[in-house]
């Protein structure tokens, strides 16, 4: 059944021909901000890590100042959400590189994101319903999230041949992996990319374009793995998970799906292989 989303009053303003910057429409401003994030990620993908970091810092500062300068418009709210992406990348690169990543370092990378996320939600008066925080139909969503998570993980494993983050398939190891991947990685990434980013982009560009743009950004933010196939695949995975959120407006569903992808990808599949 198609879900009718209740958009909070501040996010219901659509882009118009009038602009907060003379000569630019509102959607162009948001598009430029997205291109800045993409450029920073492409620099890092090309191996120019320093230039990528500098570009992310410039992007973060630009988005922060712009969001304050044009405060009160739907553009400002979109820029605030987009600023979470350079924060996520800068937190990531401040930790050891991917090859040295241990399970518990994910906690240190993702936990600080709670601070800017909280202030964005509070400043924009975003409701729980808009975020998708409800637990209806979870008895149906749980097996769906496991099935979709396994399929995506199997495809991604063939793409990047991920290593395992736990030493074995014991109950304790899988429980630790599940807690980190569901409640830290899955929850926070889905809160950013689906509840906040996809919702804001859908407000500005429409549901279809908003879904596509959020999925593309989700894929680009996986450039750290160093393969174009991973960017394409995670964009597709983001499209699937984003569509699930669009249809159900359930943050728990997409959180579990994302979490199970990582549990299979970084634990069960490589150890079974």
Per-residue confidence (pLDDT) for residue 10, from 0 to 100: 41
Contact 156, 261 (CB under 8 A): yes
**Residues present in the chain in total:** 273
The answer to whether residue 3 is domain-embedded is: no
Kindly report whether the global pTM for this prediction surpasses the value 0.75.
yes
The answer to whether residue 1 is domain-embedded is: no
The answer to whether residue 2 is domain-embedded is: no
User: Residue 261 is encoded by which pair of tokens?
Assistant: 């992808």
* Segment 163-213, tens digit of pLDDT: 889 999 999 999 999 999 999 999 999 999 999 999 999 999 999 999 999
The answer to whether the Cα torsion of 41, 42, 48, 52 is positive or negative is negative
Of the candidates 160, 154, 162, which has an alpha carbon nearest to the alpha carbon of residue 261? 154
Per-residue confidence (pLDDT) for residue 162, from 0 to 100: 84
* Segment 209-264, tens digit of pLDDT: 999 999 999 999 999 888 899 999 999 999 999 999 999 999 999 999 999 999 99
Q: How many folded domains does the chain comprise?
A: 1
Least confident of 20-29, 41-50, 128-137, 264-273: 20-29
Of the candidates 215, 194, 246, 240, which has an alpha carbon nearest to the alpha carbon of residue 4? 246
Other C-beta atoms within 10 Å of 132: how many?
A: 23
The answer to whether residue 4 is domain-embedded is: no
The answer to whether residue 158 is domain-embedded is: yes
Per-residue confidence (pLDDT) for residue 4, from 0 to 100: 40
Provide the domain limits for residue 163. Answer: 9-272
pLDDT band at 78 (very low <50, low <70, confident <90, very high): very high
The answer to whether residue 79 is domain-embedded is: yes
The answer to whether residue 117 is domain-embedded is: yes
The answer to whether residue 197 is domain-embedded is: yes
CA–CA separation, 91 and 112 (whole Å): 8
């Amino acid at each position: 059944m198609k879900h009718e989303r209740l958009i909070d009053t501040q996010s219901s303003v659509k882009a118009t021909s009038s602009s907060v910057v003379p000569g630019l429409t509102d959607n162009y401003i948001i598009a430029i901000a997205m291109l800045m994030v993409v450029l920073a990620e492409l620099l890092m993908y090309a191996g120019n890590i320093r230039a990528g970091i500098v570009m992310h810092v410039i992007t973060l500062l630009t988005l922060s100042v712009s969001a304050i300068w044009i405060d009160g418009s739907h553009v400002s709210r979109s820029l605030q959400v987009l600023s979470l992406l350079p924060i996520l990348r800068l937190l990531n690169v401040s930790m050891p590189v991917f090859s040295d990543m241990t399970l518990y370092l994910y906690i240190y990378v993702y936990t600080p994101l709670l601070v800017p996320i909280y202030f964005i939600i509070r400043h924009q008066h975003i409701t729980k319903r808009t975020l998708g925080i409800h637990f209806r139909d979870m008895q149906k969503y749980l097996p769906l999230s496991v099935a979709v998570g396994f399929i995506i993980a199997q495809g991604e494993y063939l793409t990047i041949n991920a290593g395992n983050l736990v030493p074995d398939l014991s109950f304790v190891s899988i429980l630790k992996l599940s807690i980190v991947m569901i409640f830290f990685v899955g929850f926070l990434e889905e809160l950013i990319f689906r509840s906040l980013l996809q919702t804001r982009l859908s407000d500005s560009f429409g549901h279809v374009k908003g879904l596509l743009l959020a999925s593309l950004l989700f894929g680009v933010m996986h450039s750290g793995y160093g393969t174009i196939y991973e960017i394409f695949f995670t964009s597709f995975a983001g499209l699937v998970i984003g569509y699930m959120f669009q249809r159900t407006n359930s943050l728990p569903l997409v959180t579990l799906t994302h979490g199970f992808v990582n549990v299979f990808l970084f634990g069960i599949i490589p150890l079974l292989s």
